[in-house]
């Protein structure tokens, strides 16, 4: 029988501590509802005493979701606990997460205290929190650098006081996996009442060890993991939810399971990235744009023969439609033949050889090989065909004391239409006008601008990714006017919707 691992998501608390990534209450509710669809067990909704906004977010999230436990963070301070309890009054299942530092750094340098007083304050906080809720989690801040014998004394005392979950954070991301696993094992073997509480991990990624440490914690007895979507969080971030969940799923022989619907992972990742305005690095495990992309000829040939030759995860399992074969100068004939076949071209070996030689010459000169490039190589120039959507004219008004407004003229199958809209900036205004013209419900999932040349007259290249009815479409454009390039890239993606 599998052992259940509980997923505690702190995207809306620890994850939101990233500078510039704060969400308003409506956005937090949207993320919380998606986390509920994803299947997380606990949502840490905020730190209520820190601000009226955080307090209100915990209140509204408690009303908006039903299945997950809603958790509120506090310090080991009575006022914090009272405010958290008030914020959780609408939660169907509420948890107060209270705690204090247990390392010598925190005890002496941060708290100006001593080990015995810390235990007293920890016990008092847990007992007080239990007056308001039945589910109390205690965090031993900087447990990663805490003495194991002393940490065990603290954990025993707070469990006796009523803690139902004990959180062992590697707050500074200092631990190695072996050391963190040993710490969890020490608690399992040396805290007499440890069976009365769930051990939780909370690892930071300062040395890139967060997922490894979390897995070490699980293997040594932890049954809850505290994670964030995309691994966002303070400094170098937290343990990535998607990495831990898919590691457990890939290694079924370990005997662990979660309640996560993994097909919702990519959708959740995109939502968090979009709302927090924090792009996911392309090579990010599981959710990065290149996580299931293959450009090496050897890899491409292997994947086309059997996906499992180079992929341990079926992309469909995490909500990605399929692997992508990226054509570059390193691609082989198998990849080129596959892509041409997708475009409807079945070439004889001799013709394929000729096209492949032309392809290599082009790939050495051009970084990205598009479908349009391939059409040209096989003798059909798509540039000679009219695009379904083309930008005729664009006029933008913006400035410090002006509401950004854009007037867009678009040719749609030969007919010209005009629309005017305002927005948060010139690009947002132009995109809003375009969406009003084409009357399609689309979600902008990625928007990237890259300078091709140097200097103030840079030629800017824009890449957009949009979602429509579950399908993904890409658009590209380049122009010295970045707003024009953005609109043309958007129209390029929209024009591919059938």
DSSP string, 387-433: PSEEEEEEEEEEETTEEEEEEEEEEETTEEEEEEEE-SSHHHHHHHH
> Is 14 marked as a binding-site residue?
yes
Of the candidates 367, 487, 342, the residue with the CA atom closest to the CA atom of residue 423? 487
Say which residue the tokens 């120039």 belong to: 381
Q: How far apart are CA 466 and CA 435, in angstroms?
A: 12
Q: How far apart are CA 396 and CA 309, in angstroms?
A: 50
Structure tokens at 55: 């307090």
Say which residue the tokens 């963070």 belong to: 73
> Edge to edge, what strands does the sheet with 402-412 contain?
389-399, 402-412, 415-422
Q: Taking a C-beta distance cutoff of 8 angstroms, is the pair 176, 142 a contact?
A: no
Structure tokens at 216: 């070490």
Structure tokens at 351: 């013709």
> Is 238 marked as a binding-site residue?
yes
Contacting residues for 151 by C-beta, under 8 A, at least 6 apart? 102, 140, 143, 168, 183, 187
Q: Taking a C-beta distance cutoff of 8 angstroms, is the pair 236, 204 a contact?
A: yes
DSSP class of residue 142 equals T
Q: Taking a C-beta distance cutoff of 8 angstroms, is the pair 404, 428 a contact?
A: yes
Structure tokens at 210: 């967060």
How many Cα atoms within 13 Å fall on the side-chain side of residue 472? 15
Q: Which residues pair with 214 in a beta bridge?
A: none
Q: Taking a C-beta distance cutoff of 8 angstroms, is the pair 68, 35 a contact?
A: yes
Please report, in range form, the residues annotated as the binding site.
Answer: 14, 202, 204, 238
Please report, in range form, the residues annotated as the binding site for Mn(2+).
Answer: 14, 202, 204, 238
């Amino acid at each position: 029988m599998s052992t259940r691992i509980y997923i505690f998501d702190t995207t809306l608390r620890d994850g939101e501590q990233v500078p510039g990534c704060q969400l308003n209450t409506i956005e937090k509710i949207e993320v919380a509802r998606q986390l509920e669809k994803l299947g997380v067990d606990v949502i840490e909704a905020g730190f209520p005493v820190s601000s009226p906004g955080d307090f209100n977010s915990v209140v509204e999230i408690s009303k908006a979701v039903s299945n997950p436990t809603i958790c509120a963070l506090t310090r080991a301070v009575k006022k914090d606990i009272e405010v958290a309890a008030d914020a959780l009054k609408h939660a169907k299942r509420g948890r107060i997460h209270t705690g204090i530092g247990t390392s010598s750094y925190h005890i002496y340098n941060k708290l100006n205290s001593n080990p015995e007083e810390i235990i007293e304050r920890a016990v008092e906080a847990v007992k007080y929190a239990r007056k308001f809720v039945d589910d109390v989690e205690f965090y031993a801040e900087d447990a990663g650098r805490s003495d194991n014998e002393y940490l065990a004394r603290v954990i025993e005392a707070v469990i006796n006081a009523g803690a139902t979950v004990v959180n062992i954070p590697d707050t500074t991301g200092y631990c190695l996996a072996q050391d963190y696993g040993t710490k969890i094992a020490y608690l399992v073997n040396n805290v007499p009442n440890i069976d009365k509480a769930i051990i939780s991990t909370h690892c930071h990624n300062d040395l890139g060890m967060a997922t490894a440490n979390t897995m070490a914690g699980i293997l040594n007895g932890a049954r809850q993991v505290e994670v964030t979507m995309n691994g966002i969080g303070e400094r170098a971030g937290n343990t990535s939810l998607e990495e831990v969940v898919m590691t457990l799923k890939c290694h079924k022989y370990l005997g662990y399971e979660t309640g996560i619907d993994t097909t919702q992972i990519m959708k959740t990742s995109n939502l968090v990235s979009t709302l927090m305005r924090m792009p996911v690095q392309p090579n990010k495990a599981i959710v990065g744009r290149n996580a299931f992309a293959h450009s090496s000829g050897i890899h491409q040939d292997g994947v086309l023969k059997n996906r499992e030759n180079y992929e341990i995860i079926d992309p469909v399992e995490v909500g990605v439609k399929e692997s992508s074969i990226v054509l570059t100068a390193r691609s082989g004939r198998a990849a080129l033949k596959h892509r041409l076949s997708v475009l409807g071209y079945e070439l004889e070996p001799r013709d394929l050889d000729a096209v492949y030689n032309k392809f290599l010459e082009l790939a050495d000169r051009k970084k990205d090989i598009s479908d349009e490039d391939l059409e040209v190589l096989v003798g059909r120039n798509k540039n000679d065909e009219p695009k379904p959507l083309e930008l005729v004219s664009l006029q933008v008004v913006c400035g410090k004391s002006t509401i950004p407004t854009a007037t867009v003229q678009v040719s749609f199958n030969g007919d010209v239409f005009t629309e005017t809209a305002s927005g948060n900036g010139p690009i947002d205004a132009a995109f809003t006008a375009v969406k009003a013209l084409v009357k399609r419900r689309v979600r902008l999932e990625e928007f990237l601008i890259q300078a091709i040349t140097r200097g103030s007259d840079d030629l800017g290249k824009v890449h957009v990714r949009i979602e429509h009815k579950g399908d993904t479409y890409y658009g590209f454009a380049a122009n010295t006017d970045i707003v024009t390039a953005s609109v043309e890239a958007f129209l390029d993606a929209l024009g591919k919707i059938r």
